[in-house]
Amino acid sequence: MNRVGAAILGMIALAGCTAGQPAQTGGDAEFRVALVFDEGGRGDKSFNDSAARGLERIPSELGGKIQEVDSKSQADYKTNFEQLSIDKPDLIIGVGSTMEKAMFEAADSHPEQKYAIIDVPSDKPNLLGYTFREEEGSFLVGVLAGLTSKTGKVGFVGGKSIDLIKKFEAGFRAGVKAARPEAQVVSKYTEDWFDVAKGKEAALAVYASGADIVYHASGKCGLGVINAAEERGLLAIGVDSDQDDLAPGHVLTSMIKRVDLAVLDAAKRAKSGNFKGGTVVLGLKEGGVGITEMRHTKHLLPPRALEIVRAYESMIKNGTLRVPTTLEEVEKFVPPPVQTG
């Protein structure tokens, strides 16, 4: 297990097929966890795949059966949650903020059922929400981008221009500013999560402006960003899952968001009998976000780059550096001096 995964398992308190035809696997019938994917589904090599990895660990680590439920469109969410709630598994998990309305309605209609949702805070007694400090991991990849860029211009490609994705952009811009104040950051939004062609088109436009590194937070669209980096012989930065292997040597690093461990943690709480609704917030300190080991790209980094990144990481973890979460905060952000060695 990598350093991020070990940290979150140590720090989070102990006390998951097609719609209507869930696939079930695993042993102990006494404990059941169902997980509803968003429209991206398995194979997005990002957010949903990370959730699936957490779900797959449940039978071997906790015992029980797991169900995967696909959503062909957002219109499926309500039906999926209602059907699962009638079936009464021990825990129902929803992946992503687009499910918020449908899951909250299900939680209100079935107060005895336990639910968990990713990327949405909760104040309901039977619904546990997991949110992440995406800005913290994004800050670190911004530092790397600022230090590594040869042109002094880097880019960001977002999915839909919502507050959640603005957190990624704000953290990234703040990291670039800390590492290289004179560097420029160019941003584009696809206003989509799933169209790979739109991701590639946005990235190519950013590269054409002179950027040589582009960070994406755009769901499945990000596969197009990585395709563009490989096509242009430049660098991308992945998100959510470790995307470094998608184009070895062209993905500088990935900002990992440990949705998998949030899924596993929710299941542990449900099985332990200590399940309580509310919100769990995961950042660098909790091991909820982080960066990859850059197994294909370390040789591209300038001297002491990793020392600088680790110094900033320590400052975030000990509370001496608060990363901006909005573009307005980035404008006012004064990066603290960093000491290495």
pLDDT at residue 13 greater than cutoff 80: no
170 and 271, same domain (yes or no): no
Q: Average pLDDT in the 212-231 region?
A: 98
Instruction: Enter the DSSP assignment of 220.
Output: G
| CATH number, residue 72 | 3.40.50.2300
Q: Do 127 and 144 have their domain in common?
A: no
Section 144-157 average pLDDT? 99
158 falls within a domain = yes
Whether residue 155 lies inside any domain: the answer is yes
Tell me what percent of the residues of the chain surpass a pLDDT of 90.
Answer: 86
User: Is there a domain that residue 1 lies in?
Assistant: no
| Residue pLDDT, tens place only, 253-295 | 999 999 999 999 999 999 998 899 999 999 999 999 999 999 9
What mean pLDDT do residues 2-20 have?
40
- Number of domains forming the structure of the chain: 2
First to last CA, the chain: 28
pLDDT of residue 23: 46
Within this chain, do residues 125 and 227 fall inside the same structural domain, yes or no? no
Residue 27 resides in a domain: no
Instruction: Note whether 181 and 99 are same-domain residues.
Output: no
| 82 and 165 both lie in a single domain | no
Q: Residue 39's pLDDT is what?
A: 87
Per-residue DSSP letters for 319-337?
A: TS-PPP-SHHHHHH--PPP
Is position 163 within any domain? yes
311 and 218 fall within a common domain: yes
Beta bridge mates, 281: 131
Task: State residue 40's pLDDT score.
Answer: 84
* Interval 30-83: pLDDT, tens: 899 999 999 888 888 888 999 999 999 999 999 999 999 999 999 999 999 999
pLDDT at 85: 98
Cβ pair 33, 58 in contact under 8 A? yes
Q: Is 59 exposed, middle or buried (0-12, 13-18, 19+ CB in 10 A)?
A: middle
Tens digits of residue pLDDT in 225-255: 999 999 999 999 999 999 999 999 999 999 9
Residue 122 within any structural domain of the chain: yes
Residue 9, pLDDT > 90, answer no
Give SS3 for 49: helix
Q: Are residues 74 and 176 in the same domain?
A: no
Q: How many angstroms separate the CA atoms of 204 and 219, rounded?
A: 17
> Is it the case that residue 214 has pLDDT exceeding 60?
yes
State residue 258's pLDDT score.
97
Tokens of 245: 């292997």
Q: What is the mean pLDDT of the chain?
A: 92
Q: Which two tokens stand for residue 293?
A: 């080991």
Q: Is the pLDDT of residue 102 over 80?
A: yes
Segment 74-103 mean pLDDT: 97
Report the relative pairing of strands 127-132 and 153-158 from DSSP bridges: unpaired
- As a whole number of angstroms, the distance between CA 21 and CA 288 comes to 32
| pLDDT score, position 30 | 85
CB-CB contact of 213 with 149 (8 Å): yes
Binned at pLDDT 50, 70 and 90, residue 312 comes out as very high
Q: Based on the fold, state whether residues 250 and 141 are members of the same structural domain.
A: yes
45 and 102: one domain? yes
Verify that 36 and 97 share a domain, yes or no: yes
**16 located within any domain:** no
In which band, very low, low, confident or very high, does the pLDDT at 341 lie, cut at 50, 70 and 90?
Answer: low
Confidence of residue 29 (pLDDT cuts 50, 70, 90): low
Three-state SS at 153: strand
137 and 7 Cβ atoms separated by less than 8 Å: no
pLDDT at 67: 97
- Grouping H, G, I as helix, E, B as strand and the rest as coil, residue 39 is coil
In this structure, the answer to whether residues 98 and 179 fall within a common structural domain is no
Domain, as residue range, for 273: 32-132+260-286
Looking at residue 26, what is its pLDDT? 47
State whether 122 and 243 are in the same domain.
no
Helix 134-148 to helix 305-317 angle (10° resolution) is 160
Amino acid 133: pLDDT: 98
Split at pLDDT 50, 70, 90, the class of 18 is very low
**Two tokens, residue 57:** 């660990």
Predicted local confidence at residue 43, as pLDDT = 86
> Is 295 a member of any domain?
no
